[in-house]
Amino acid sequence: MTSVPPEADLRPDPAPAGTPPLRVALLGCGVVGSEVARLLLAQSADLDARIGRHLELVGIGVRRLRRDRPGIDPALFTTDVEALVSRADVDLVIEVIGGIEPARSLILTALGHGASVVTANKALLAADGSTLFAAAEKASADLYYEAAVAGAIPIIRPLRESLVGDEITSVIGIVNGTTNFILDKMDAEGAGFAETLTQAQDLGYAEADPTADVEGFDAAAKAAILASLAFHTRVTGADVYREGITEVTSSDIASAREIGCVVKLLAICQLSSPDDAAAERTVSVRVHPAMIPRSHPLASVGGAYNAVFVESRSAGRLMFYGPGAGGSPTASAVLGDLVTVARNRVRGAVGPGESSYAARPVTQIGSVLTRYHLSLEVADVAGVLASIAQVFAEHDVSIQTVRQNGRGAGAQLVIVTHRASDAALSATVESLRGLDAVREVTSVMRVEGE
Ligand code: HSE
């Protein structure tokens, strides 16, 4: 009978005595950074064994020196972040400061002297990823960023490595936990946006300044990163059409429920079909609230959770689900990247860089085709439906269903269309607003995920 060796015997051979450690500089020590530092120190022996080399945390760059960082040697902290990142003996740099500057300059300095970089900085990658990727390529260093999109969920590596032999046709994500928490609560409790946002802030799910989340900027940055990777092209945050959730009302959510849907803030990245009339294939990238059928896998993503639904030609449909934010989940993604880039260093290898060979044009929102749900307050008299249908027909927007709620002065028409262009739908809404029979267009929302 073969005996199982004790666990210590299964570990890779330790580095020969005298092998220098891999030196790590951590930039930022907020919610994510402090958890990264804690785990780096607490799991040191296991991380070293997985890498085959000792990882030594040599410094933590912070804006202000504080005393309340238990478990971390105070001597590691420095406010001279530029000097820390410029150290020629630093092999690996973790950037969790966020924002554009000074993060960009610090990352470029690190790459400039050949250090590999792990970053969680979605805003920077979406705004100027190409500059960072070019610098990494030039330095033959790694630039890894699993934590930039959807926290702990492995989605960057699946797109960059596991699915790179396939053709991805669509990536649809719930990539912002704050807005998902708010919309989920509005759905469960029938409450309005403003009061639910206040509750989310009281519970610590939303920031005091919630703009980046509720206006969709955070999700748009993540959409740009996902689309670039999925379609081998370059999409920036500025290319992404964006609408937040501040205008979503409790009656939108109730209307969604009536047609078997739920409202979610979606990041939608799509590659045009090769059968479309256009000479070259294009990508559309957008972030907006949308109704999706309750039977869709993304509909069941509740609370502050994230999920990314990928469709590809050969693999079919895949769903990635998990915690999309928070210190510990995000630190897990950062450390996964750190171990990977450290292993690459030990082997003298570099992981995959940017793949943007396809250079696909980004479709303007006006040409994007989708279904729409409209609610109208109307006069409840003969011929009104005909005049409204006529407006849809004039703009070549085909109606799928019509329902009337209430009667007399309180009559409401709920119309769901077949797929129409955003431009045609906008023109239809403009014309409806000019009809005497239409008192108000109370809601217009896209319907996704057939
Ligand atoms: N604020 C984001 C969210 C997490 O609510 O999901 C960081 O991107």
Cα separation, 285 vs 179, in Å, equals 19
Q: Which residue's CA is the nearest one to ligand 1's atom 2?
A: 176
- Predicted pLDDT at 208: 94
Cα separation, 95 vs 104, in Å, equals 10
Cα separation, 284 vs 211, in Å, equals 24
Cα separation, 97 vs 24, in Å, equals 15
- Site to substitute for ligand 1 among 174, 178, 214, most atoms within 8 A of C-beta: 178
- Predicted pLDDT at 213: 97
Q: Which atom from ligand 1 is nearest to the alpha carbon of 122?
A: 8
- Predicted pLDDT at 1: 45
The residue from 122, 185, 222, 264 that is catalytic is: 222
Q: Which residue's CA is the nearest one to ligand 1's atom 4?
A: 325
**How close is the Cα of 176 to the center of ligand 1, in Å?**
5
Cα separation, 391 vs 166, in Å, equals 43
Q: What is the DSSP letter of 314?
A: T
In which residue are the tokens 């022996």 written? 45
- Predicted pLDDT at 66: 81
Two tokens, residue 126:
């979406």
Which 3-state string (H, E, C) describes 7-75?
HHHHCCCCCCCCCCCEEEEEECCCHHHHHHHHHHHHCHHHHHHHHCCCEEEEEEECCCCCCCCCCCCHH
Beta bridge partners of 445: 373
Q: Is 106 exposed, middle or buried (0-12, 13-18, 19+ CB in 10 A)?
A: buried
Q: Which atom from ligand 1 is nearest to the alpha carbon of 205?
A: 5
Region at 48 (left for phi over 0; alpha for psi -120 to 50; beta for the rest): alpha
pTM for this model (two decimals): 0.94
**How close is the Cα of 331 to the center of ligand 1, in Å?**
14
- Predicted pLDDT at 5: 55
For residue 153, CA distances in Å to 174, 309, 320 come to: 12, 12, 7
176 lines ligand 1 (CB under 6 A): yes
Cα separation, 55 vs 20, in Å, equals 9
Q: Which residue's CA is the nearest one to ligand 1's atom 7?
A: 325
For residue 444, CA distances in Å to 108, 127, 159, 291, 449 come to: 44, 30, 33, 11, 17
What is the set of domains in the chain, with CATH numbers?
8-151+329-347 (3.40.50.720), 157-324 (3.30.360.10), 365-447 (3.30.70.260)
Q: Which residues of the chain have pLDDT under 70?
A: 1-14, 277-278
Helix (H) or strand (E) holding 444: strand 438-447
For residue 75, CA distances in Å to 51, 69, 71 come to: 26, 12, 12
- Predicted pLDDT at 193: 97
**How close is the Cα of 177 to the center of ligand 1, in Å?**
6
150 lines ligand 1 (CB under 6 A): no
Contact call for residues 24 and 56 (beta carbons, < 8 A)? yes
Active site residue 185: no
State the angle between helix axes of 193-202 and 177-189 in degrees (0 to 180), rounded to the nearest 10: 120
**How close is the Cα of 48 to the center of ligand 1, in Å?**
31
Two tokens, residue 47:
């991380």
177 lines ligand 1 (CB under 6 A): yes
324 lines ligand 1 (CB under 6 A): yes
Q: Which atom from ligand 1 is nearest to the alpha carbon of 222?
A: 8
**How close is the Cα of 357 to the center of ligand 1, in Å?**
30
With CA atoms as reference, report the closest residue to 286 among 305, 266, 301, 306: 266
